[in-house]
Amino acid sequence: MAGIGYELRRLLRKDTLIGALEAYGYAGVIGSGPWVLSILGILAIGILSAPVVGAAVEVTQFQVSVTYLIATSLIFAGLIQLAFTRYVSDRLFEKKDDVVLPAYNGVLLLTMAASGALGIALLFVLFPGFSIAYRILMLACFVLLSAIWVTTIFLSGLKLYQSIVVLFAAGYAVTVTVALLLRGYGLEGLLLGFLVGHFIIFVGMWLLTAYRYAPPRAIAFDFLRRDLAYPSLMVVGLLYNTAVWADKFMFWFFPPTSDAIIGPLRASLIYDLPVFLAYLSIIPGMAVFLVRVETDFVDYYERFYDGVRGGSSLRFIEDMRDEMVHSVRNGLGEIAKIQTLAVLATFAAGPALLDLLGISALYLPLFYVQTVGASLQVLVLALLNILLYLDQRRIILLLCATFLVLNIALTALSLWLGAAFYGYGYCLAVLLTLGLGLYLLDWKLGRLEYETFMLQ
């Protein structure tokens, strides 16, 4: 453990209300900062560019193009994110720090080459009548975003959360500034601003890694070796990111709930705005999740496995297991309580919030359902992280596959049933996945010391 865990413990050791507020505020910024900055940056570009670009349709085209870029690049990068982070973690545990940067350079080269090939195949086939400038900018953004997502989870695995937030803040400040300076050039100008800002983020991340790890060689592909690779984690990353976006894509491409925006890209005004607002409500839950996982749980987790490796008494190991279980239950309970309060506050503020944004009150039921679903997703995320710590890859794979299948099936059912049921498919899919995850986690924790020793 390094970075955020130590900082959160330092703040909590003050044992004061101010210290606790500082810890949770710090965790909220660290846990939610990058995606909040991303959303606000894109919205700011749209709002400030609308009077100058000349046609509101170009602003909408920019925002929809960027949304698709983010969604597809996250799904694509999911193939390598977790597997590569696990590879790096194993090498750091073996004290082989010198292999980190060469492997990182290798995975970047592979990611950018593969995303470039995929991007060319898609953009030049699906957008045959569009300008070369638009297609090249979309391709460059897709490649850059794929590299950023791989780097972000890599740096998160190294606990460099503060650096990630600072880089995203700087990058999106540049994104907004350059996009506004170039907004006179229409859609291409806005995309170029988006590209420049993300290039700043990527370069900053690469320099941060290069500064920390001085390599004897520039590039390596050892992470592709069969004995060092983790195919199950590759599938997990792909399934989870696809599951998160599945209901959005279904609403985008279901004609009664969407409109054509640019080329083959569609958007759903009915679905997108409530989803965006609902995800803002999970910031408190993300803060609690980060505090509880990175302090109490990780503390007992390390003591448990240090005791196993160091030959501690069975009584000590069992005590640490019990404390770890207790911290998991308390942590999940706290997340549930905080998110319940956040949901109630969102419900109370919902009508005024929609009125402030000029959104019809007809969206309120969907907004409420999506808020509950997003809150449940925080608990699912916490479960998956705990299971990742425990290296329960089969269970994680099962949960991600369950989430994907349920989200597709239940969202399709909600689309068939009609507008009154929109959003319930996603919400119910998350709820059922959470229930299965809680059952499997409880079962695994009950067998933890037995499996830890028997699998050696």
Task: Pick the last residue of a domain from 213, 229, 245.
Answer: 229
Side chain identity at residue 438, one-letter code = L
Binning the chain into helix, strand and coil, the percentages to the nearest 5 are 85, 0, 15
In a domain, 20, yes or no: yes
In a domain, 262, yes or no: no
Q: Is 215 found in the same domain as 327?
A: no
In a domain, 108, yes or no: yes
Q: State how many domains the chain has.
A: 2
Q: Is 440 found in the same domain as 335?
A: yes
Q: Is 289 found in the same domain as 161?
A: no
pLDDT reported for residue 268 = 87
Q: Is 68 found in the same domain as 141?
A: yes
Q: Is 223 found in the same domain as 142?
A: yes
Compute the distance between CA of residue 382 and CA of residue 331 in angstroms, rounded to an integer. Answer: 9
Task: Pick the last residue of a domain from 229, 254, 289.
Answer: 229
Q: Is 116 found in the same domain as 211?
A: yes
In a domain, 454, yes or no: no
What pTM was computed for the model? Answer: 0.86
pLDDT reported for residue 125 = 78
In a domain, 271, yes or no: no
In a domain, 382, yes or no: yes
Q: Is 162 found in the same domain as 93?
A: yes
Compute the distance between CA of residue 8 and CA of residue 338 in angstroms, rounded to an integer. Answer: 18
Compute the distance between CA of residue 132 and CA of residue 188 in angstroms, rounded to an integer. Answer: 10
Task: Pick the last residue of a domain from 169, 201, 229.
Answer: 229
Q: What is the DSSP code (8-state) at residue 256? A: G
Dihedral of the alpha carbons of 415, 416, 420, 423, in degrees to the nearest 10: -30
Q: Is 296 found in the same domain as 185?
A: no
Q: Is 298 found in the same domain as 432?
A: yes
In a domain, 73, yes or no: yes
Token duo for residue 283: 């910031």
Helices (H) and strands (E) in the chain, counts: 17, 2
Q: Is 314 found in the same domain as 216?
A: no
In a domain, 254, yes or no: no
* pLDDT, block means (10 residues), the chain with 456 residues: 48 56 56 63 67 67 87 89 83 78 85 90 78 88 90 72 77 83 82 90 84 68 77 90 93 90 86 81 75 73 80 80 84 84 86 77 86 90 87 92 96 92 93 94 79 62
The domain of 355 spans: 277-448
Q: Is 73 found in the same domain as 216?
A: yes
Side chain identity at residue 269, one-letter code = L
Q: Is 282 found in the same domain as 213?
A: no
Give, in order, the Cα–Cα distances in Å from 234 to each of 69, 152, 242: 20, 16, 12
In sequence order, which ranges of 298-392 are alpha helices (DSSP H)? 298-310, 314-356, 364-389
pLDDT reported for residue 31 = 54
Distance between start and end Cα atoms, the chain: 24
